[in-house]
Structure 1
Amino acid sequence: MQKKLLILRGVGIALCLNAAVSAPTIAQDMMARTVRTAPRSTYQMEEVFSRLEQLHKVKFNYNSHVLAGKTISEQQMRRLEQADLQTAVPAMLQQIGLTCEWIYGNYYAVKSFNTVQQQQQQFTVKGTVTDGSNGAPLPGVTIAVKGKTKGTATDAEGRYTLQGLQTNDQLVFTLIGYKTVTQPVNGAGEINVVLQQDVSGLSEVVVTALGIQKEKKSLGYAVQEVKGNTMTQAREPNLVNSLTGRVAGLTIRTSTDLFQNAGISLRGAKPLIVIDGIPDQLADMWKINPDDVESISVLKGQSASALYGSIGKDGAIMITTKRGKGKELSVEFNSSTMFQPSYIRIPKVQSVYGSGNKGKYAYVDGSGGGTEGSGWIWGPKLDQRDPATPSGYWETPQYNSPIDPATGKLVPLPWLSRGKDNVHNFFRTGMITTNNLSITKSNDKGSFRASASHIYQKGVVPNTDLNNSSFSLAGNYDLTDRLRADARISYNRQYTNNYPETGYGPSNYLYNLVLWTGADVDIRDLRNYWLPGKEGLQQRHYNLSWYNNPYFQAYEYLRGYYKDNTFGSLSLDYKFNKDLSAKFRTGVNTYGLTTTSKEPYSYIRYSDKSRGNFSTGSDQYFDIVSDLILKYEHTFSKNFSIHAEGGMSNYYRNQKYQTSSTDGLSIPGLYTLSNSTNPLQGTNALEERRTNSFYGFVDMEFYGAFYLSVTGRNDKISTLPVANNSFFYPSVAGSLVVSELVKMPRWLNYLKLRGSWAEVSAGRLELDNYTYNYLPAYDRGVKWNNIPSLTFGSTIMNPNLKPQTTQSWETGLELKLFDNRLGFDVTYFRARDFNNIVDVPLSEASGYGSRRENGHEYLRKGIEIVVNGTPVKTGNFRWDVSANFSSYRRYLHAIFGGKDQLNKIRVNERMDRIFTSVYEKDPQGNIVYQSNGFPKTDPFSRFIGNDDPDWIYGVENTFRLGDFSLRFLVDGRIGGLIYSSTNQKMWWGGTHPGTVNSFRDDANAGKATYVGAGVVVTGGEIKYDGNGNVVADTRTFAKNEKAVNYIDYMINTSNSANNNYNYYSETFLKLREVNLTWQVPSKWIGKTFFRSASVALVGRNLLLFSKLPNVDPDPGSDNLQTPSMRSMGFNVNLKF
């Protein structure tokens, strides 16, 4: 009930903000200001406006000669400090011959009555201001008339209108983060301006921890920002996939499977997700509508995210959502359709040989035994001529053979390659459609924005899809001149009646389609998947013991997922005076999840035929985090300023889940719990945790060039032992803008040095995320004579355990060269992970198997390089390049108990070293064969390479010519190894194209002709020490000449005995995205109801260059992944 009240309260607040923004007036200034100035007789007007700008956080535009000689009294000054700005200032100015006009947001123009009169005889200029980097309209651009007090600002579509201009006037266009442009009027009625980003870094603002905006030059740690508009054209079903290749140090391992999460790794660890300053520990990126995202800031180091305490131990991804812009009501519609008609990687299956074993096959009853070949695809050659048969081809009984009524036997059918293209014939064209509608409005008091979005993804597997619907409402409003409210609430629903199961096994489509179905079977003949006369009871397939009919699997084995998520936040900011303010912020994250699984009769689970089953799960989650923050900000002089904040936070989480499943179904096809043949099986759990925190930081600025930031946070965590549940996390960061202190050469525009240090703990003692795993508890044991038993855990806990802790530091360098045409950002980081939780083996005599201790230490190191440049900039053509490169290593730094080796890895060696089973070799590297002609397995696992890539990179190019822009992104990895289960099983089962050769023909004929390349031992021996090092080798060798049956050889050697053969290089280059956009010229739509329009042709995942066959290395692992699809389509964006 409390959760519902909180949600309704959040909705009510957001709706009230919406109504408040739309209302024409509201009571203001109910509280007196506390700021006072020293008593004086008169005040010059420039001084008056300077004081008011500091007090009210506004900006006055005026010409100095207009204010010359004009003053106000001390009494008038007091009134201005305490009264409402919009009513008191115009009244006061009128007394001295001036007037004040609101321009946009917090900008005001001051002018004389004479100027106003002159404007009545002047003309009007209109136009649009766009971003030079992507052609997008720029809202909030200030347009001032040079030397005069007139000005305005662009609306949400980048449009502006200025009245009363003269021919010789000059317009000055300014926006934070962009270079100022001055444009002469020259009598033009329309002036369109393109603003280029100011990449000098001096005015760039990014979102940091707690949602605080800071100048990038002041930061002592690495931060990268991605604009939201780069993720709303070439669409991905999940927002995080759009970050691939765009951020140095951030590795996104995108999945090729429908509705599967991408792997996210920031400097080798999983970062925290933060939405509008509110931590989202669920990290459910599916609930975030990309059209609602203004920007994403990636805080890479611990210093950057230390203010979040234990949950921010490994960096953070800060997502800032959009708010309303523009005084006029604005409607935006964005529609995207992406088709997936082809593949960049798909398993290529041989179609020369069919089902069976050693060249023999004859269907009997579908059991797989006898002449059916035990499910192998090592059968007879297909399409072989035989003039003795009616068809002219060799014939044999098959699963679809008719029965001869005279003999009662199966009629032989031609053995043909009917299923040459089974993979393409089974999969269908996928599709992703996205439609988003948003409405925004703002005025000088606040703003609101509402949006609704729906994403539909049609899976390539028949009868699979995903729906994702979102609605959000956001607004802010100045309740008084001191109190401002900001609120947002979003609702998201993810739902599907069926999505594919992944992983190796009979539940995976590729298991049944690629690995264990020969080309003798045309998959399209299996669309009628029930055995005639046994509908609902027995599936129809060529093998009824081990494999599932893929169509039966697609339409009968159904996995449902229904999740409703609500995420809301509210913040109240109160200003005591110009230096001191307070903020209260609270955020609620809740979801309800229901999952279902419908398993039909005769479904195969590793030769176990199902009697039908139905299971359902329910997961209820709720968390709330509330912060109370006090802020002090003051500029003591032009050489020193301070910004300090301190606060307290309370986090509470409650999660409960339960599952129920049948044990067989009494009535086939009736999927209810009450239809269970035997008693139901079920589980349930409840988890709660609370964290109380105090935190604060102090930022100091010296001479506009040196910045120092000190932070601290203390967490008290409810799920830890009382004696050891409070932890303090400090950090310090600094930056030095050298180019502000020292005169640089003309070619060097900007030089900054930075560094930081932090120490943060994980906040838990368990080995996984379950809260109570470190507590000793009883487990359910086996039943004795139907009497249940209990067992005590096999691990004893150390009562003095401490959470895993990371201590890190980083240093960086930023450069801007050649009039800011070339920029570098280089970072080196080092992190020591200690107090790791490990289970130390114990003697069985102790009654336990292990003891949980604080143990091993690890060291993480890495380098990140970001390069930005503009190689060409001439006329209306511009070419921009952004590239990033990163390298990461993790080392074993120390071992519990002072040992020097852990699982074959020695201290100071990389933790990603791969040791696997290999064949024994002679000193020259030749494989050693046994006397039977098969290779001899090495008695020790051997190092074959490293798992992590040497480098991860991304390069994005943007070309702009007039109203057209072309953007393409390539990314990839260099080095590292990946194990491919798909290739291993294809070699093993006989479907790999590499198994097509003359040796296979000989094996089908019963001949042993394959001779493995290598040597045999003719004498002597080899001796190893306990670590597998050779201590003596007296062996003599001769060339291996023993011939074996090729099929026997492949079945034996393609299994686990030679895992090293199934490791491949992870190196790849991928054309990740191409985007060709046409911004419809404003003159074409000037007389329509459209404010702007753009059309784009887009593509994702277009090309792949990799030596890994049959699968895409992008996910970082392969366990029968769905073929990697190419996406192409279009995007339309309309603003009204």
Structure 2
Amino acid sequence: MKKLLQSLFILLFVASSAMAQNRTITGTVTSKEDGLPLPGVSVKVKGANIGASTGANGRFSLSVPASATALEFSSLGFLSQTINIGSGTTVNVSLETDAKALTEVVVTGYGTGRPVGTIVGSVATVSSRVVDSKPTANAFDALQGQVAGLQLFSSSGEPSVASSLRLHGVGSLGASNTPLVLLDGAQVDPNVIVSLNPNDFESISVLKDASATSIYGARAANGVIYITTKKGRVGQPTMSIQQQYSESSIAYDKFFKNVMNTAELSAFQVKQGLRTQAATDALLAQYPNDFKWYDYYHKNGAPTYQTDFNISGGANKTTYYISGSYLNAEGIRYRSAYDRYTIRANVNTEISSYLKAGLILSGGTDNRQLNGWGSNSTNGGLALLAQPWFSPYKADGSEYYGETIAGLGRYAPNYLADMMPDDYNRLQFNPSAYLTLTPIAGLTLKTQGGMDGTIERNTWGTRPVYAGSPGNGSLDESYSRNIIKTWTNTAEYKFNFGQNNFTALAGHEYVDGTNNSFSAGTAASPFNEMWLLQNGNATNRRVSSGKSEYAFNSFFGRLEYNFKNRYYLDGSIREDKSSRFGSERQSATFWSIGGMWRMKEESFLKDVSWLDEMSLRASHGTSGNSAIGNYEHLQTAAATTNYTNNPALAINQAGNAELGWEKQTKTTVGLTTGFFNRVRLTVEYYFRKTTDQLINVPQPFTTGWANIRYNIGTIQNSGFDVTLDVDAYKNNTAKAFVTPYFNANFNKNKITELFQGKQTYIIPNTGVLWAVGQPVSFSYPIWAGVNAANGAPQWYLPNSGEAIANPRKDPSAITSNFSTALEQNTGIERYPWLNGGFGFRSGYKGLYMDVDFSFSLGKYLINNDRYFFENPTQFPGFNQSPTVLDYWTPQNTDARFPSLSNQFTQFDSRLIENASFLRLKAVQIGWNLPESILKSVKVVKGARIFLVGRNILTVTDYTGPDPEVDSNLALGTNPNTRQFGMGLQLRF
């Protein structure tokens, strides 16, 4: 017994000695990228089974034995770190974002996500950091210049505007060029993005090559944009509130300031002979102003407010993310505004070890007030034609309201906005749900249903109290309901034999869309207090309704193989059937094959220390385009009253029973590399060919039809994508880094076949030419300058016939008689050859700064504004650009414009301007408050203060309102806005 007690005493002594040698180490783990604390980080003693995890504030406490020399820190989405602990008791760590891990689980086409390093296809992913906290309703606006190959322009400053999207050039001359947009796997209309809260997005992936897109078959000819929304994490409950405020003004005001002042215009009009000097002096005595009309028609400092709230987390096997937001944005034009409410709930649960389910409920409503004055109106896009000696303010400083502006004879824009409202309301609903079953190891069965539903109501008209037409109000209302439903069923099986790894996928998808609409209108309404449809004149009422439907039915499969995670092959096939085509041509089959060689895994490169990554991939495949009207293959009839003034039917569409799929073939080769643990470079080449284009072919008028859509014509696009980012500086101890980036797309298009044997075709009234063997180009009479001898305008005579595709500038073939017959190829390409962006991400401890530039080179626009602002002989009396002062006189023979006896400007090549631009797209500067400041407020776990700017600087030679317009022609553009703002985010 005594020996036993001695043994127990010795054992307890040893144990207590060992415990006495243990020490407690504490610290905080933060993200290097933004300085925020990281919860749920695993902290382990190296070489021992001892560990802990960080709490919601990123802090940890761990008792370690005396023998411990290092701690290992690891967390999903971050690079693991091993830190030597020495004899200290405090260890603070800043984990670096793992660029691969952030995009690791990428969904490229049904089935489970795949690590990005194992994806054969070309996929670019933008994280939530890029799109959130931007002072705009449009999430896609933040993507400009972020993805090589994705051209994105915002053509208007309306706060509710959607961006135009184009991937790898123009792939179709007749059908849509917009990529397929998927929200958590369900198809949505690209315009829906404006109605969603960008702060709910986890990532946006752009699928670019055939290997990534062909699995989507019929809808993927223009690429795929896949949006993933945020989800909660088990054991990491958080709540966040963010408030943001910004102010808007014109982003590029060179055009608006380029009009004459009172002295210049009055003197010029005397020279024109519009009035004598005495009459001018009398006019200016009556109206002694030099008013800046651009400051009046465009607001400066239009406010935008945004509030976001979300809670996320999880318990046991269920995670949740719930959010709500409110946005209120005023446009810079009168009667231009947008307010939006959204709500979202993402819930995922593991019912059992083999059964999982998820539900997304997303909805919202928004109200839009649109400026109803068109681009061709002196109350809208041409407002600056107003003479500067007139003013919208009376002598006592009050504004003209309900009466025309003295001398100008025009109503004030805010009065017109009140009297002629154009209000728009939209209800948005995007629910989806899924169920996955894993009956055996490796096999995943999944069914998912989603919906994109909108209800839209538009109300517009003229109030009965409008002074311009009192007692004669008009009112129109339209209502539409659009629903796109997607139902997808897949079976995916993963298995291996030794180092041979396989993934097989089979699936079925059904998509249908319906649109129901009706509208009504009335006129001669005398009652302002009862401004309703039924109160107009009974003989001036109108009503209409419509319905449209379409459906896709698809079967698809994919097989992936890799050997030793080094050599990869994948192939996909899909059969699509569409209701938009003739009964014999509704079905088409699309396919792809791709391969990747992870060269870094080879023995001859594996030990090359300076080479982090090297992968070579290639793919080839087909996809289709059906983005046309729903019934263009059918002969259709419409109601008419032209038969003895009674209702009747008349054929209104010729139809084409042979109409089928537009088809595209795409080949891509790419190399991805990484060097010195700092430099990452990807270069890709692609060749894209579209055949059987869905083109509206002009018909002889004797047929009774202007155009009939056919499958005909071929166009090619080829180019390079380049993506580069560099860790120029990084210091983990100081939590400091500077990471510049650059991306660019070089693209050339060429038409290789047209229709009816034609070699050239000028699209009527557009200034756009299609010519075989050439890119899509601008076609206008080519200006040859002013005749120095007599001041007459001159144009080059074109080649005859289809030879107009070759620009002719023969000094011996010139005429002074303008006509549209002078139209010829100008040699100027319609689409830019280079688009891209650059900038940097940086941080120091809790401070960070992100800067983004975007650019476009080889972009041209027909500046139709100049036809009005540089044409004093056609629009006498109106204000003009100072450029018109350079007109021909016997003393000024080398002039820009002809003599005063001629028309200054015609629709010719002078109006085609280089609209290439460089834009400082976004700047965000923020500070994550340190824990030392917040520790006294225990309920607040984190706080961030930030400043934001958008479209801060624009560099361009374009003289119109905005170079970013995505069109062949610009007139009276509502310009993009420059915004500056600030925000505060609190985390609890």
TM-score by length of 2: 0.86
d(CA) in 1 for partners of 2:273 and 2:93? 69
- CA spacing shift, 1:175–1:116, aligned 2, 3 Å: farther
- Are 1:732 and 2:559 an aligned pair? no
Q: 2:935 aligns with which of 1086, 1089, 1097?
A: 1086
Measured at CA, do residues 119 and 500 of structure 1 come closer, stay the same or move farther in structure 2, by a change above 3 Å?
farther
8 Å CA contact 2:217–2:591 kept in 1: the answer is no
Within the candidate set 184, 189, 206, 1:298 is matched to: 206
Q: Is 1:451 aligned to 2:351, yes or no?
A: no
Please state if 1:505 is matched with 2:405.
Answer: no
Distance 1:159 1:289 in 2: 28
Paired residue type of 1:1053 = F
Q: CA deviation at 1:811?
A: 1.0
Equivalent residue number for residue 523 of structure 1:
392
Which residue does 1:514 correspond to in 2?
Answer: 384
Give CA-to-partner distance per residue, 1:870-913, whole Å, 9 cap, x none.
12234533210111010222211223344433336432211234
Q: Is the 8 A contact 2:524 2:540 kept in 1?
A: no
**SS state at 2:418 partner:** helix
Aligned counterpart, 1:892: 751
Which residue does 2:168 correspond to in 1? 267
Q: Is the 8 A contact 1:394 1:415 kept in 2?
A: no
Aligned to 1:558: 421
Alpha-carbon distance in 1 for matches of 2:19, 2:525: 85
Cα distance per residue 1:128-164 (max 9 Å; x no partner)? 4333234344455332221222334445x56243443
Change (3 A) 1:581 1:837: closer
Instruction: Tell me the equivalent position of 1:906.
Output: 771
**1-side partners of 2:240 and 2:318: how far apart?**
19
Name 2:442's counterpart in structure 1. 579
Residue by residue, what CA displacement relative to the aligned partner does 1:171-212 show, whole Å, maximum 9, x if unpaired?
211234533211234565553321223457899443322374
Deviations 1:782-840 (A, max 9, x none): 635533554323x64442222211111111111111x2211211111111111113344
Q: Which residue of the partner structure matches residue 523 of structure 2?
A: 663
Q: What is aligned with 2:913?
A: 1064
Tell me the SS of whatever aligns to 1:1083. Answer: helix
The answer as to 2:965 corresponding to 1:1115 is yes
Name the counterpart of 2:685. Answer: 828
CA distance in 1, matches of 2:869, 2:940: 56
Out of 419, 432, 436, the residue aligned to residue 308 of structure 2 is 436
CA distance in 1, matches of 2:313, 2:139: 26
Q: Deviations over 1:772-791 (max 9, x none)?
A: 13311223456355335543
In 2, Cα distance between equivalents of 1:994 and 1:810:
50
**Which of 886, 897, 904 is matched with 1:1053 structurally?**
904
The answer for unaligned runs of 5 or more in structure 2 is: 1-13, 170-176, 763-768, 784-793, 798-807
Deviation at 1:250, TM superposition (A): 0.8
Q: Name the Cα RMSD after superposition.
A: 3.5
Matches of 1:565 and 1:203 in 2, distance apart? 29
Provide the secondary structure at the position in 2 that maps to 1:510: coil
Once residues 25 and 273 of structure 2 are traced to their aligned partners in structure 1, the CA distance between those partners, rounded to angstroms, is 79
Matched residue of 1:635: which SS?
Answer: strand
Q: How does 1:962-981 map to 2 (within 5 A)?
A: 962-981=845-864
Question: What letter is aligned with 1:267?
Answer: H
Is contact 1:133–1:197 with CA below 8 Å preserved after alignment? yes
State yes or no: 1:192 paired with 2:92: yes
Q: Give the structure 2 partner of residue 165 of structure 1.
A: 64
Looking at structure 2, the residues matched to 202 and 554 of structure 1 have their Cα atoms a distance apart, in angstroms, of 47
Give unpaired runs (5+ residues) of structure 1.
1-113, 362-376, 397-411, 533-538, 1001-1007, 1015-1039
Which of the numbers 450, 453, 465 marks the counterpart of 1:590? Answer: 453
Provide closer, same or farther for how the CA distance between residues 852 and 1090 of structure 1 changes in structure 2, counting only shifts above 3 A: closer
Assess, with a 3 A threshold, how the Cα gap between structure 1 residues 927 and 429 changes in structure 2: closer, same or farther: farther
SS state of the match for residue 214, structure 1? coil
The superposition leaves residues 693-739 of structure 1 with CA deviations (integer Å, 9 ceiling, x where unpaired) of 21121111111111111111222223433332222221112111111
**What does residue 991 of structure 1 align with?**
879
Match of 2:795, SS state, is: coil
Contact 1:663 1:681 in 2 (8 A): no
1:121 CA drift (Å): 9.1
Distance (whole Å) between structure 2 residues aligned to residue 449 and residue 1122 of structure 1: 37
1:647 matched to 2:519: no
**Which residue in 1 is equivalent to 2:115?**
215
CA distance in 2, matches of 1:921, 1:484: 71
* Contact 2:750/2:776, CA 8 A, preserved across alignment: yes
- Note the alpha carbon deviations across 1:1079-1124, whole angstroms, 9 max, x for none: 2112322342221111112211111111112522122343212244
Deviation, structure 1 residue 997? 3.6
Q: Is the 8 A contact 1:211 1:277 kept in 2?
A: no
Report the counterpart of residue 982 of structure 1 in structure 2.
865
Counterpart check, 1:315 vs 2:184 = no
| CA distance 1:625–1:846, change in 2 (3 Å) | closer
Q: 1:914, CA displacement in angstroms? A: 4.0
Distance 2:585 2:113 in 1: 35
Q: Is 2:350 aligned against 1:478?
A: yes
Is the 8 Å Cα contact of residues 1011 and 1044 (structure 1) preserved in structure 2? no
CA distance in 1, matches of 2:846, 2:61: 24
Distance 1:915 1:669, change over 3 A: farther
CA contact (8 A) 1:983 1:992 kept: no
CA 1073–129 in structure 1, closer or farther in 2 if over 3 Å, else same: same
- SS, match of residue 584 in structure 2: helix
CA distance in 2, matches of 1:292, 1:579: 31
How many residue pairs were aligned? Answer: 923
- State the shift of 1:866 in Å: 0.3
SS of equivalent to 1:660: strand
Counterpart-to-counterpart distance in 1, 2:700 and 2:335: 54
Aligned amino acid, residue 332 of structure 1 = S
After superposition, residues 496-895 of structure 1 pair within 5 angstroms as 496=368, 498-501=369-372, 503-506=374-377, 509-511=380-382, 513-515=383-385, 517-525=386-394, 528-531=399-402, 542-544=407-409, 548-600=411-463, 611-637=472-498, 639-667=499-527, 670-677=530-537, 678-744=539-605, 745-763=608-626, 768=628, 770-781=629-640, 783=642, 785-788=644-647, 790-793=649-652, 796-817=654-675, 819-842=676-699, 851-874=708-731, 876=734, 877-895=736-754
TM-score, normalization by structure 1: 0.75
Measure, in 2, the Cα distance between the counterparts of 1:568 and 1:865. 37
Distance 1:814 1:523, change over 3 A: same
Contact 2:471 2:527 in 1 (8 A): no
* Bigger Cα displacement from structure 2, 120-129 vs 438-447: 120-129
CA contact (8 A) 1:437 1:452 kept: yes
Query: Closer, same or farther in 2 for the Cα pair 1:452/1:331, shift >3 Å?
Result: same
Change (3 A) 1:455 1:849: closer
CA contact (8 A) 1:264 1:270 kept: yes
Q: Is the Cα contact below 8 Å between 1:167 and 1:185 reproduced in 2? A: no
Contact map agreement 2:633 2:657 (CA 8 A) in 1: no
1:279 paired with 2:187, answer yes
Give per-residue Cα distances to partners, 1:982-1010, cap 9 Å, x unaligned: 3332212453442464869xxxxxxx768
Secondary structure of the residue that 1:484 maps to in structure 2? strand
Q: Which amino acid aligns with 1:319?
A: I
- Per mean C-alpha deviation after superposition, the further-off stretch among 481-490 and 304-313 is 304-313
> C-alpha distance in 1, partners of 2:229/2:99?
23
Q: In structure 2, how many angstroms separate the alpha carbons of the residues matched to 1:1011 and 1:146?
A: 85
8 A Cα contact 1:619 1:657, kept in partner? yes
Residues of 2 paired with 1:1071 and 1:950: CA distance? 20
Q: 1:835, 1:225 → 2: CA distance? A: 32
CA distance in 1 between counterparts of 2:28 and 2:349 reads 27
Q: Displacement, 1:602?
A: 9.2
Alpha-carbon distance between aligned partners in 2 of 1:577 and 1:304, rounded to the nearest angstrom:
28
